[in-house]
Every structure is written in C-alpha cells, then in structure tokens.
Structure 1
Amino acid sequence: MNLKTFTRLFILFLVVSQAVKGDDGFVVDNIQVNGLQRISAGTVYNYLPVNVGEFLSEDRIPDAVRALFKTGFFKDVSLAREGSTLIVNVTERPSIAKIIFEGNKDISSEDLLKALNNIGLAEGKVFNQQMLEKVEQELSRQYFSHGKYGLKIDTEVSPLTRNRVGIRINISEGRVAKIKEINIVGNRSFDNDDLLDNFELSTGNLLSFYTKDDQYSKQKLAADLERLRSYYLDRGYINFSIESTQVAITPDKKEIYITVNVKEGDVFMLEQVKVAGNLIIDPEEVVKLVQVGPGEIFSRKNATETSKAISDRLGDEGYVFANVNMVPEINDTDKTVAMTFYVDPGKRVYVNRVNFQGNTKTRDEVLRREMRQMESSWASTSKIERSKVRLERLGYFEEVNVETPPVSGTADQIDVNYSVTERPAGNLTAGIGFSQVQGIIVNANVSQDNVFGSGKRLNLAFNNSDISTNYRFGFYDPYFTLDGVSLGYDIGYRTTDAQQANISSYLTDVANIGANFGIPLSEFNRLNFNIDLRHTSLKETGFTANEVRAFLKREGDTFITLSPSIGWTYDTLNRAIFPTEGGQYRLSALGTVPGSDLEYYKVSYKQQQYFPIAKDLTFSLSAELAYGDGYGKTDDLPFFEHYFAGGVRSVRGFNDNTLGPRDSQGRPFGGSTKVAGSAEVFFPIPFMKDLKSVRLGTFLDVGTVSNSPSNIGGDMRYSVGISGEWLSPFGAIAVSAGKPLNLQEGDDERIFQFSFGSGF
C-alpha cells in the first residue's frame, strides 16, 4: 500500500468514526447503499462484514471500510449513520469498455489481449490505474520472447459515458535483436561448431528468415542448454555441468551475445548393468530390451530408451502405469557406473469401456471394427495407439484424439475414449481444372466415401479433358465380411487421344467391367485380387507412327482381354494423406488369360518410406520398378500398355512422358521397363504451419524408361528442385520447379510444372 492510499484510508477512518460514533455504537436496523451504477447492492452486502440486526461498534468500522476497498470495485468508500440506518457511500471505479492496440505487427491483437487477461486486464473488468504498470511489464515480456528489445509502449486512457474508459495502447515494436555470437567456454573435448550444431539458436544462415533461429528466446536457449547437457551425458560425461550463462545486448538493442560456461568432467564407463524389481515378463525377454552393456561408455539416451522399451513392453501386458527407473551408482575413483533398472509394474489394468464421441454421421460399428484394443481385456498401450492410427487412416475424420481416464471407484480399470472430428464424406462436385498436359479439365463427380455412415464407398464420375473423356461407376465395401475381407466392383468407359498426352499419336475407346477383393493377412499385410474384362478399340490418326501402324496390321484394332491380377501390400503409414511416418510397399502382377486377343503380363514394385527428422520436417524415399512383356501369340508388351516417365508426377524438370524411347515421328513412345525414385524433404509453409492441407518440399528425382532392362543405367536422368502440394476445396494442386542435372540432346526440359484438378 503506497503512502497516498494509506493517508486516504486514515482520513476516511477518522471521518467515518466521527460519523457513526456513538457512546457504545448502535444496532443496525437498515443498510442503505448510495453511488452504485453497475454493481448491484447485493454485491456490496456480500462483501460488507455488517448485517442488519448486528451491533456495529467503533472498532469494526475500519474492517468494514477495508473489506469494501479490497474488492477493487471502488475508488472511494465512506460510512455514515442516520438513526439506526447505516449509510454506505461509494464511488465506483470505471469499467473497461475497449482495449485497442496500434502498431503491433509481430504479435496479433488477439494474443496480446489474452496476455493482458492473464494479469487481470480485460474488456468488461474494473479499471485500476495501477494496472497500467503491469501492462507494460507483460507486453515487454511478450515482445522480449520474440527477440524485440527496442520496444516502446505508450498507453492512453480515455473516459467514456456511463463510468467507462477506453484504453489505447500504442506499440513501437522496433527491430528484432539478432544473435551476433554464441560462445561456449570450458569445452576441451568437443569443438564449438560441433556443439552449436545441436542448438536451435544460431548466428544466422540462409534459412533464418524462415526458422527465426537467429532471434533470441529465453525458452529456446533453455532448450538448447538441455540439448548441450544431453550431448555430453550421451557420451559418458556424467558429471557435466553448465556453470553459468550470460546474455548481453548491445546498447542499440540490435545484437545479442550469448556465453555459456561449462565444466565437462571425465568420461565414465559402464561397469555392470542389472534389472531388478518385479519383472512380470520373461527375464530373457527383458534382457533383449536392454540397450546398454558393461564396457560401453555411459549414455543417458540409451539408458532412457531402455527404460521406455521395458515400460512399453509391460504396457502391452496391461501394466500401463508401470515405472522403470534407472538408478546409477557412480564410482568417481574408477570413473565407472553401475546401472540398475528398477521395475515397478504397478497394478494390471483392464479396459472397462471403449467410447466414441463426435461421430455424428459414422456409425459406431464402423469405428469399433477398427479397434485393436478390446473391452474387458488387458489394456495395451500399443493397441490403443494402433487403434487411433487406424481411425486416422479411414479418411473420414479431420482429427482423432484418445484419452484413457481411470474408472471412478476402481484401481485397476480405465476407459478408452476416442474423440473424432468428422469431415464431409459426401460430395456432389462440378468443376474445371487445368493441367499442362491434359489442358482444360471439366469434371462432375458424385461420391460418398461413407454411405449412410456405413464405411462403404460409392462413386459416379464424369471427367472430360483434351486427352480423354471418362465415365465411371464404382462401389467398395472394406468390410464385406466381419474379418475384413473387402469387395468392390466398377464399370467404366474411356476415350483417349494419346497425342494430347504428349505421347505417340493414336485414339482408343475402352470399356471395362471389373471386380476386386482383398484379404487381410495380418495387421499390416494384405492380399488384393482383381479381375477385369476389357474391350479396347484402336484408331489411327494422320500422325500415327510406323510402330503403331505395324502393330495394328499385325494384331488388329479391336481386342477383348480378361486380365486377373494379384497384389501384396505392406502398409505402416500413419495417415492416408500427407503421412509423416511409416512406409508402404506394393508388389503386383497382372496378366491376360491365355486365349485373350492379346497375351501379355506386367509386374511392378513400388515403395514409399517416411521418416520424421524434426517437428515440422519429414524425409521421404520412394522407388518404382516395373516390367512387362508379351507371351504366347503376342510378341511384345502392347504399346498402349507402355510405361512412361517425366513430369510433375514422375521425374520433375522433364516434360511429361518424355523420358525413354520415341517413335518414328519423334514422339514419346514409352517402354516395357521403368525405373524411378525420389528423395524429398517436406515442410509446412512458413508462417502457416497450422494449415495441414498444404506442404512444400525439396526433391531429388531419378528415373527413365527403356525397352530393355540392360539399357536402364545409361539412360537414367536426374533432377532437383522444389515442390508444393495443396488439397484445395476445388481439387488437388501440385506444382514444381525442377532443374535437370544431366540434360541430354533431345531431352525436353520443363522447369516449371503444375497440375490442377487431378488427385494425388
């Protein structure tokens, strides 16, 4: 309490004392409150420590005044007496009608309002002049965390009608202070550069405009110091310590210097490793989980991973609250560590109920059949998490979360609650797209990925472009049987002008009807079977090449083929769209049955693998191998079944379909053998990390097409570049800017490529 407030209270006390003073006080028969505008009389009665019918003595008066002042609602309070009525005179503090920020760019007004609300300043609350000092402190703290130390704040308070005020906060953010130097002092075993490679903060580089790693943050420095500590502890320096940290800023508040003083200590070796406690599971199985051993350099990382591996293994047996603590016994004389992992499994936990929330359209049974964690069985952490992944992979939900609260009144039961946010499952769309190859694309599509919430898929589509006109009807039931055997069928008709696809010139009309079914072999393995009956008609154009004419003369121009196929899929991707972890491997073989008008076969292998390398970075490797040939009465793979490479969906930087053999007219003809691969790093758009439907990437592509596997190596092409993908409401958009690394004579370079209106 400052001197001014104390003096005011003292004077009020004297005045009130004289006003209500009597020889022995008085009994309060009534209480009257004057001066209220916004605050109700009931609020005053609640805080006033005097009630009607009570005796008010002189020594209780200060407590009554103090109680009303403590509410913070009033800037003046006085008490008076009229007979047996206690008169309470108050002057309310004004309320805050509006808080306006001017000049803020780096931090949004919404975030600043949240920060001020945390210190008690918000629209609708009572205004206290003393809060303005806290406002400046809080806003400075917010901006300092963003590396802006040249901040200037000017606050204006304007009176408004009905005892209200408006607050205008003018902010001059200043420039971001950049890190000029980071020095580590006391390190003898490792160079500064090696240690600073593990820091998020840096002195700046070409990507600092995106990563902001050259902007000082107290939180980032604390995280970097923990990384530094882990770096040493993972290399045996068990007594490593950070002695002090200094952060200095230049007088102009534009540059920051960071100095970290460390004491390394000595390297410690593991003398022995033991596992103690109630192991529950087979000790030999526990030993396999231990990732450290005698004679090795002590590593906290390996020790932590061992504790987690044992804990996860116990969690799969129902001991989801198991504790595995690593306790080191340090011998400073011998520089050795005896490590013991103490296992406390706790109680075995059952699952009481598996509950679903948020699925307003999708039936519970559709979600429940994806569950790997069953009710009334032991809880398993891996099964609970796998069930969550399977729900995410359905494609029906934008978000899936899981919680495992304990059941009230029990010590060994939990519920597993999945909450989902549904995305629209039905679509009636008509639109126009554009592709550099296909030109203008007109499409109409009626689809329902989750018919009546049953999980079945229905599709009726029409697509028209410069290349082709396509009509298609399809149906798919992923759970035709309860154990996950799927069944689907489709009917389609397609006309194609191949020349418009930037390949050899000819026309095709294809009508087909097909059926497919899949059999799950395990959690991640699946066999798929297809059979297609196809009617194909070929036509020449004025630019048809000799190779096509020779084929038509030899084989005819109309073919009926029956082609069964079989495929094996191993899929561990964590999500169906824009995965960040896991892989997918596909091996397939197709062949027309003997006696078909054309006898040929095709085999292919595709794989994709995703590795999370940082919070917002994903590394992807993909590869494709494919081969086809004729058999029986058909000498070669029919030209309209050839493989192609090059373009936004293949080796970027080269024009679509242009890699590989060409026909007598010099147009791409494709081949019977294809090899392609890609290495890519995906990351979100800067400043738009919450937008999950967009991603950027940098890539290295490789691939080619040939008529002979022996010619693949010499014809290989390489390219590098950047890419972008957006799952827009109007269709999928893919763009790339690629540069060929080994452009050969006759190659068709295309640096910028894009496609709009076709699926990923």
Structure 2
Amino acid sequence: MSCLFKKVLLSSAIFVSLSFGQVIQKVEIMGAKYVPDEVIKALIKAREGLTYTPDLVREDIRRLYRTGFFDRVEVYEERKDGGVILYYDVVDLPIIYKIEFTGNRKIKSEDLEKKIGIETEVGKIDVEELTKGYTSSPAIEEKVEIQRKLKLGRVLSREEMEYIKRKIVEAYAKEGYPNVKVDYELVPKKGASKIVYHIFEGSPEYVSSIHFKGNKTFRAGKLLDHMETKPPSLLALRLRPPFSEDVLKDDMTRLRDFYVSEGFLDAKVSYKIEKKDAKYSIEIDIDEGKRYKLESLKIEGNTLFSYDELVGAFLKKNKGGYYREEVIDQIISNIKRQYSTIGFLNVSVVKDEKIDSEGKKVSLTLKVNEGEPVYIDRVQVRGNYESRDYVIRREMRVQEGELANEREIERSRTRIFNLGYYEDVSIEPLPSEGRRWDLEVKVRERFTGQFSVGLGYNQVTKVAGFVSVRKGNFLGTGDIAGISVSYGSNYKDNSLSYTKKWFLNKPMDLTGSLYDRRIDYTTYTVSRTGLDFILSRELAEFWRVSGGFSIQRVRYSNISSDASAAIRQEAGTRQSRKLLFGITRDTRDNYLFPTKGALTELSYSVAVPVLGGTERFNKVTLSHQMFMKDTLFDTGLILSLKGVVGMAEPYGGKTVPLDERFFVGGDFTIRGYKYGYAGPLDPNTNDPIGASRELILSAELNYPIYKNILYGAVFYDTGLGANSWKDFKPQNFREGFGVGIRFITPFAPIKLDWAFKTKKVPGDTSRSKLHFVLGVFF
C-alpha cells in the first residue's frame, strides 16, 4: 500500500500537497470498529465532486478529533486519472450503550451503579444536559450531531474502564470483601457496544468487636455515631458487619475531627486490629489531651448589628466555655442570617484563631465583611414545563428591583411549595460582581393531572377505595379541577369540583363543588347531596378570609331498632341551607408536615330558613396549632401543640342536627377513645350522640428517625365534649397518651398511633387503641 499512497497528514502534522485544483473522486473510511462509516462521512466536509484543498482535509481532521470519539485520525491521498481519492484511516473508541455486571450476589447491580456513580444503560440522549455549562461552539455542535446520529451511549476510554473496575473493588472492600477480583470484556458492535464486568466476590470478612481505650469525655456509643465501621448488634439486626481497613482509616480521621471540633485540639487517635479466621477485633486508642477553652470572642467590622445581636444566646448554651466548632458555626450562621434579612447576601465572615498551646486556650476574632445591599435584577423560573410563569411569580414576595431579603425569599419558597403542585422548590441567588443579582427559582413538578386509584383509612370511614381524575394546576393556570369517586364498606364520596385561583386577577380563590356523600355508622347511615360555593381572599401575607354558602339535602336512614332516641328522631330527610364564614392565619413552613409556624382557623356557619331550608342553628369553631423545631440543641425534635374550642346553638325552637354536633374522641381529637366516646353517650345504648360544646388540647413530639421521611412520636391529648360549659371540669376530662410513627411521602403522610386512655367509658372499655390515618394529620 505504501507504494500507492502518499501519507499526507498524521495527527497534527502539517499537511503538504501538490494536488490543488483536483476533484475528489472518492472518499473511503478505514479502520472504524465502532462508529458507523456513514456517521463519519456525514461529519466530514470532503465529498465526491468537490475541489480538493489541504484546508478542507485539515478541517475534517479537526472536526473528527473534536467529537472525542477518535483516538487517532490519519488521511491518505491517492492521485488517479487527474483526480484524488481520500482515505480516512481512524482508530475509534468504543461507544458504550450498556454496562453489565455478572457474579455480583452481595451487591445488586442497581446498588453498584449508585456506588460507582454511573448509568449502566443509556436511554434517550439529553442534549440539554450534554451541552450544559458550555456556550455554542464547533466542538459542542459536532458532539451533539454525532450523539444524535448514533442515538446510543458515549465513549469510554480504557482509563475509564479501569476506573470503573477500581470503583467496583472499592465498593466491595467497603462491604467486607477485600479479596474481590474483577475482570471485564468489551462486546463490540458496530454503532454501539457493551462492556461486561465479571465479579468474583471471594470470601467476606467481618468485625467481631470494637473496643475504645482512653475515651474519658465521650461514651463509646457517641464515638460509634461518627464511624462507618460498626460492631455486631442484635438490636440493629447487624449480625455480621463488614470489615474494611480503608474504611477504618477514614473512621480514625472522622473521630479525630470530632474531638477537634469539641475543643480537643491535640487529640490523637490510633487503632490495632487482630484477625482470627475471617473476623477482626478492633481496639481504638484515644489520647484526648487537654480540652481548650474559648478565652474570648471578638467581632470586628460589624457596623449594622451589635455584638449581642450577632452572638445571641449561643455562648450561654456553650457549657463549660470550651472551644467548640459547632457553637462557632452557629454564631457565623446567625451573623449571615441577620445580614441576609436586610439584603446583605454577600456578607462574609473570616475566623482568626489565636491558639495558646500552653494555656490550652483559644482567642477568636470573627472578621465581618458586610459588603453592600443586594438588589434583584431578574427572577428566572426553571423546571415549570407545565406551569405558566405567572403561577409561580404571583406567589413571590420579592420581585425585580427590590432588596434581596432572605426572609422574603424563604417565604416565597414556602408559598410556592404550599400550592401543592411541586415536589421540590428552591430559590437561589445568583451572585454577580455588582449589587444586582438574579434569583433562580427551580421547581420540580408533581404529576398533578392523572388518573389515581388508591386507598384511604381512618376510624370513621374505615378502609375506602377511591378513583379520581384530578387536575391540579389545570392547563398550567394554577386552577384545580377534579372528579372523584370513593367507595368503602362504610363510606361513599363522589364529587365534582373546580377552583379558580386568583379570581378576577386578584388574590382570591373561587371554589365550586357538587357532591354526594354517605357514611355508615354502627346504628345509622347519613347521606348528603349538595352544592357549595366558597370565595376566599388573601387579606395580608399570612391572613385569608372566606365566605360562601352550602345547599344540602341530608338523609338519615338504615336506623337500627336499638339505636338511641337522639338518632331515631333524626330519621328522614331535611333541607340544609348554610352561610359559611371563615378567617385563617397560616405561617406554617410546610402544609404536609410542618416544622415551624402556626395555623389559626376561625369558622362560623349559620343555618338559615331560606330556599326551603329547615335547619336553624349557629356553629363556631376556633382552632390554633403551633409547630416548633428544636434550635437550642439541634436535635431535630418537632413540638406540635393544638387547641380547639367549639360551640353549636340552635334558634327558633329547633335543635342542632346530630351530624352538626361535635363528636370528641378518635383519630383527630382524643386518641385512645373510639369516635365520639369522649363526649355525651346515650344512657340506654351507650352510643355517642354528639355534643354542643367541645374543648380539645393536644401535644405531640416528633423525632426524626430516618432523614425527613420517618419520625417517631409521643403524644398527649385531653379534652371533652359536653352540652354545658359547666361540665368542663378537670375531673371530667378524657385523656389519651401514647407513641406512634409518621411516614412522610410526597403524596400523603401516614400515621400510626398506639394510644392509651386514662378513663374507661361505657361502650369503650378497652385499655388502648390503634389509630391509623392515611392523609393529613394533627
């Protein structure tokens, strides 16, 4: 071949040719194993019939290299019959569309994928992700072009293949398999290939015991919290914890960092291991040294806030006056928080430590660079593929040109999230050199328009299945449209509703709903068919007022012969016409599971004798809930307090209908009691007959067990339902207490409580009761 061809260009060598003006007769692709020839031909500019020039070939070589799919590109020419034949000789890299694992029994393939940090199977190429962070350029355009033509995968170099192999070995070492062997093979295919990693796990090695020596200040359990290596534990179902010396070395670093953060600046940590068979006994030797005291704390550069405002009570919480990084970090966070509330988002704090090794003391100066106030230049909304921009922007409490107030930014995030249309909402300032920053609002939308099938449960309705077509954020406008069909053994709720958000382009919501509901109680059935219209308006940032009317037909049926007289007198059908009023103040940070803020609600309804209405009564309810998160010790504990008081009074010689009375006791009032059994009972049948007065007080403490998903709870409820305020004496109150768990899902929270009552009542003599609620609680 060398006698026929003249080598024109190799890699970046200078192209030399005497073939100016000749026509390209043919273009041949040589050596390509993975990238199809037609894809390469589509990328280069050389074509049959074009005039041959050195610049044309130079540009082709650059273009192929820029794609990143080729390890070597050489072009040869052959002059024949007054024309030129070009040969593009390439060494291409494999384009991997799939990575497979074999022999992995201990670690599942999907877990390996997460540990290694790779995607093992390629789906649709995300061109936006491919070009993210880059401005348009020939290299990017060519890479996008070849990705589109190939439709699968990406190039993996040999170095990357070896890197994946090392990561597999590291993942197994952390699981206690230090003798793992990994080989891989490339299964080539024109256009896209796959790589298969063959894993030979070997024998596992375990931790048999961990002993600490020299730890005088912190107990072993506290130190283990900072270690990934763990001892066997039957309670934690950790019978054979894996051993990895690499992980153990990292644990030693974490332990020393922990001691330093607690003021033991000279602490030393070492370990010894003893192996017997495949089990390791670990002894950790700790030399704590002297604990350093915080001798003084100064703040410099602060002109807008006083020392006390910036330090707050954090130093008072620092028991013993030791030099603890946690306390210092809390003070620095407080400084930044204080300045951010007045728009100084670019404030910075530098620590200047003077360590007295002999006296075991630290003098600390926090140097504050206040910067300048920041104003919002543009508000950019991202991720709203369905929602229109104005649905999000109208909930913002800071707009273009205004001061970038961190408190208002956080309030904006809460308002957008509480719309219920988004799984996640973040608002991030985008710093720039000047005083005008952009705000980037990122949302991740929920599936708000979908056909849903599911189950619900509470003590009254029991298990109920539902089928619903609900469109939150209807047509991206923020409106809510829905039709729902729910059936259960004791329950029916069919409804059609529509909520017009920002009615008349004002902060008002107009909701209309048509419904047909039925609840089967033990001795009777209540059915309601009706139409409601409610108009609510936002008065101020946290305040909303509402008004409307309800037209209902109420029917009592299936009344058993042994039902109480109060129930029997309700038999038949009545017409209900009610005017509805309400006022709400809501400062909660999250409507699904609040951690701070409060919710106050005052509702008033009056049944009026118009349009055929037969009821006459007034009903008012006031409730207040508070949510507080532990900021003193930062334990994650959430305290919830709730109080409810209600009263219903008839007029015009009528009585309050049974289903409008207060039934105290059950999932949402006083746990430990059956529904209604913490109020008046029929003396003959012991059935609950409802009360015209109610008072309920509840306290609940939630502790995060796993991230912000699973919580443990303890609670206490007390209160009473009665027909006279004179009956509300402490000795008459019903009380319930117990423990529970809370599982917070993106769709609906789940609550399970085991509650104990303090007083048994006729008809409800069990000592305890399980309460299960799927949906909103507390």
Partner of 1:67: none
Partner of 1:572: 588
Among residues 721, 729, 740, which one is paired with 1:706 in the alignment? 721
The CA deviation string for residues 634-658 of structure 1, in whole angstroms up to 9 with x for no partner, is 7986532233355555666665555
1:533 to partner: Cα distance:
4.5
Contact 1:72 1:126 in 2 (8 A): no
1:710 to partner: Cα distance:
1.9
SS of 1:592's equivalent in the other structure is strand
Equivalents in 1 of 2:548, 2:116: separation in Å? 66
Partner of 1:144: 173
Partner of 1:488: 510
CA 1:241/1:726 → structure 2, altered by over 3 Å: closer, same or farther? same
Equivalents in 2 of 1:92, 1:592: separation in Å? 80
Equivalents in 1 of 2:471, 2:690: separation in Å? 36
The CA deviation string for residues 330-366 of structure 1, in whole angstroms up to 9 with x for no partner, is 4556665443221112344332211112223322222
SS of 1:354's equivalent in the other structure is strand
Contact 1:545 1:665 in 2 (8 A): yes
Partner of 1:747: 764
Equivalents in 2 of 1:258, 1:370: separation in Å? 57
1:344 aligns with 2:369: yes
Q: Which amino acid aligns with 1:747?
A: D
Partner of 2:104: 104
Among residues 10, 35, 38, which one is paired with 2:33 in the alignment? 38
Partner of 2:25: none
SS of 2:443's equivalent in the other structure is strand
Partner of 2:627: 609
The CA deviation string for residues 487-508 of structure 1, in whole angstroms up to 9 with x for no partner, is 43435455545xx234x53645
Partner of 1:644: 663
1:683 to partner: Cα distance:
6.0
1:586 aligns with 2:600: yes
Q: Which amino acid aligns with 1:566?
A: G
Equivalents in 2 of 1:460, 1:88: separation in Å? 64
CA 1:115/1:635 → structure 2, altered by over 3 Å: closer, same or farther? closer
Q: Which amino acid aligns with 1:275?
A: I
Q: Which amino acid aligns with 1:677?
A: S
Contact 2:472 2:478 in 1 (8 A): yes
Contact 2:473 2:480 in 1 (8 A): yes
1:311 to partner: Cα distance:
2.1
CA 1:529/1:231 → structure 2, altered by over 3 Å: closer, same or farther? farther
Equivalents in 2 of 1:482, 1:195: separation in Å? 58
Partner of 2:66: none
The CA deviation string for residues 177-196 of structure 1, in whole angstroms up to 9 with x for no partner, is 346214142x4455555655
CA 1:182/1:453 → structure 2, altered by over 3 Å: closer, same or farther? same
Contact 1:216 1:256 in 2 (8 A): no
Equivalents in 1 of 2:627, 2:676: separation in Å? 25
Q: Percent identity?
A: 17
Q: Which stretch shifts more, 191-200 or 381-390?
A: 191-200
Among residues 687, 690, 694, which one is paired with 1:673 in the alignment? 694
CA 1:162/1:385 → structure 2, altered by over 3 Å: closer, same or farther? closer
Q: Which amino acid aligns with 1:706?
A: G
Partner of 1:17: none
CA 1:371/1:263 → structure 2, altered by over 3 Å: closer, same or farther? same
CA 1:343/1:464 → structure 2, altered by over 3 Å: closer, same or farther? same
Q: Which amino acid aligns with 2:685?
A: Q
Contact 1:567 1:588 in 2 (8 A): yes
Contact 2:503 2:509 in 1 (8 A): yes
Q: Which amino acid aligns with 2:329?
A: T
Alignment of 1:440-589 (within 5 A): 441=464, 445-467=468-490, 469-470=492-493, 472-480=495-503, 484=507, 486-492=508-514, 494=516, 496-497=518-519, 500-502=520-522, 505=524, 507=526, 509=528, 511=530, 513-521=532-540, 523=541, 525-534=542-551, 537=554, 539=556, 541-543=559-561, 545-548=563-566, 558=574, 560=576, 562-573=578-589, 575-579=590-594, 581-589=595-603
1:548 to partner: Cα distance:
0.9
Partner of 2:81: none
Alignment of 1:202-213 (within 5 A): 202-203=230-231, 205=233, 208-209=236-237
1:720 to partner: Cα distance:
3.2
Equivalents in 1 of 2:636, 2:279: separation in Å? 30
Equivalents in 2 of 1:534, 1:94: separation in Å? 71
Contact 2:425 2:443 in 1 (8 A): yes
Partner of 1:413: 436
Equivalents in 2 of 1:643, 1:231: separation in Å? 57
The CA deviation string for residues 519-571 of structure 1, in whole angstroms up to 9 with x for no partner, is 343x4x31433344455656462436444168669xx9746554444333232
1:388 aligns with 2:413: yes
1:418 to partner: Cα distance:
1.6
1:738 aligns with 2:754: yes
Contact 1:645 1:703 in 2 (8 A): no
1:371 to partner: Cα distance:
1.5
Equivalents in 1 of 2:98, 2:531: separation in Å? 67
Q: Which amino acid aligns with 2:287?
A: V
Gaps of 5+ in 2: 1-15, 20-27, 42-52, 55-68, 73-86, 123-152
Contact 2:464 2:491 in 1 (8 A): no
Gaps of 5+ in 1: 1-26, 44-51, 54-70, 75-86
Alignment of 1:155-554 (within 5 A): 155=183, 167-172=196-201, 174-175=203-204, 177-178=206-207, 180-185=209-214, 187-192=215-220, 202-203=230-231, 205=233, 208-209=236-237, 222=250, 226=254, 229-230=257-258, 233-234=261-262, 237=263, 240-246=265-271, 248=273, 250-271=275-296, 273-277=297-301, 279-283=302-306, 286=309, 289=312, 291-292=314-315, 296-331=321-356, 337-407=362-432, 410-427=433-450, 437-438=460-461, 441=464, 445-467=468-490, 469-470=492-493, 472-480=495-503, 484=507, 486-492=508-514, 494=516, 496-497=518-519, 500-502=520-522, 505=524, 507=526, 509=528, 511=530, 513-521=532-540, 523=541, 525-534=542-551, 537=554, 539=556, 541-543=559-561, 545-548=563-566
Contact 1:720 1:741 in 2 (8 A): no
TM-score (norm 1): 0.70
Equivalents in 1 of 2:115, 2:467: separation in Å? 49
Equivalents in 1 of 2:306, 2:443: separation in Å? 40
Equivalents in 2 of 1:705, 1:173: separation in Å? 65
1:153 to partner: Cα distance:
1.9
Q: Which amino acid aligns with 1:598?
A: R
Contact 2:101 2:199 in 1 (8 A): yes
Residues matched between the structures, number: 675
TM-score (norm 2): 0.69
